[in-house]
Amino acid sequence: MSIRFRALAVLAAGSLLAGCSAGPVSQATTLPATAVPVEEATPSSSAQSSTAAAGSPAAPTASPASPPSPAVIPTGVPPKPGDPTWKLVKETPKAGGGSTVEYEVTWTAPEGIASEFLAYGVTECLRSEKKYNGKPCLVPGMKIARSTLDLIGRAPGDARKMTVTWDQNEVGPSLYWSILLRATNSFGDSIFTIVHSEDVCYGCTY
């Protein structure tokens, strides 16, 4: 074998060795992947708003407030007070005899009609006759002379009770034989409501 042929054989063998020992060549790039910007990595502000709106219940709508009740404006004379009650609250003895008595009056009435309530004591038993003995001194429908009326109490239009007080003799009948109540406003006075009446004691002496 000539020297030239041997040299060619050695060169060819080296090329074969180099081909067998080299590993496979990758097709993937070695450049780093492009980084995703932070503002795109999370939902945008508009997307967050949409998500929150879709995932959260709708805000409750406030119901309109009820309008206040209109004030009642009187258009005429008030009705008479209703359902009266009469109760002795206190009796305080006085030095020298007699006592001071305090009574409570209650009643019912519609709101906003009366401007004031007035209580009166009747100084006489208006039916002091034998045929009425043991019966009330005052009944509905009777006429009452102004001279027999004492104003003994008053209360504002929004009140539904008052107390009345007077001095009572130690012996004898009550200072007032009957108690009346009426409502009043700018149009006038109601008819009387009889709150209390003593009974006729015909022929009684004291």
pLDDT of residue 71: 75
Average pLDDT, the chain: 77
Residue 72 lies in a domain: no
Q: Using the predicted structure, report yes or no on whether residue 35 has a pLDDT greater than 70.
A: no
CATH code where residue 106 lies: 2.60.40.10
Residue 96 lies in a domain: yes
Cα angle value 49/54/56 (rounded, 5°): 90
Q: Using the predicted structure, report yes or no on whether residue 95 has a pLDDT greater than 80.
A: yes
Residue 176 lies in a domain: yes
Residue 192 lies in a domain: yes
Residue 116 lies in a domain: yes
Region class of 123: left (phi > 0), else alpha (psi between -120 and 50), else beta: alpha
Residue 15 lies in a domain: no
For residues 157 and 42, which has the higher predicted lDDT (pLDDT)?
Answer: 157
C-alpha span between 198 and 126 (Å, rounded): 10
Residue 113 lies in a domain: yes
Q: Domain total for the chain? A: 1
Average pLDDT rounded to a whole number, residues 188-203: 96
For residues 146 and 42, which has the higher predicted lDDT (pLDDT)?
Answer: 146
Amino acid at 15: S
Q: What is the reported pTM? A: 0.66
Residue 160's domain comprises 82-197
